[in-house]
Amino acid sequence: MADDLFKAAREAMAKAYAPYSKFPVGAALRTEDGRVFSGANIEVASFPEGWCAETTALAHYVMGGGGRITEIAVVAEKMDRITPCGGFETLTMAEILPLGFAGDTLK
């Protein structure tokens, strides 16, 4: 994965709004045509409302015209390693697992 994707995620993390968890996260995704979309987590007082970094990156991706996602980078200030949140993975399941786990594909 290219360093520019992690750089975009780190720059997004600097814009996170995480006053409750104190856990800023940034995410960036790249489409097959090379466009990069980033986002940061945004917390609100009425938990669990708010948005994860991956979801805000995905919103920018949709507003920017979409396309096929080829890479995703997620960074967190307080962790050496982090994976995309489960909510994001379900939002993009068709992209991540195009054949999915439907009954007819598990035979």
Instruction: Read off the CATH number of the domain in which 60 is found.
Output: 3.40.140.10
For the chain, what is the domain count? 1
Q: Output the six-digit token pair for 35.
A: 């466009």
Q: Please, how many CA atoms are within 13 Å of residue 27, restricted to the half-sphere of its CB?
A: 25
- pTM, full prediction: 0.78
Question: What pLDDT is stored for residue 98 in this prediction?
Answer: 53
pLDDT given at position 90:
61
102: its two tokens: 């439907």
- pLDDT, one tens digit per residue, over 1-59 is 689 999 999 999 999 999 998 999 999 999 999 999 999 999 998 877 789 999 999 89
> In this predicted model, which residue has the larger pLDDT, 70 or 91?
70
Number of H helices, E strands in the chain: 4, 5
- 75: domain range? 3-105
Q: Which of 49, 54, 71, 95 is catalytic?
A: 54
Instruction: Examine the residue annotation and report whether 95 is marked as an active-site residue of this protein.
Output: no
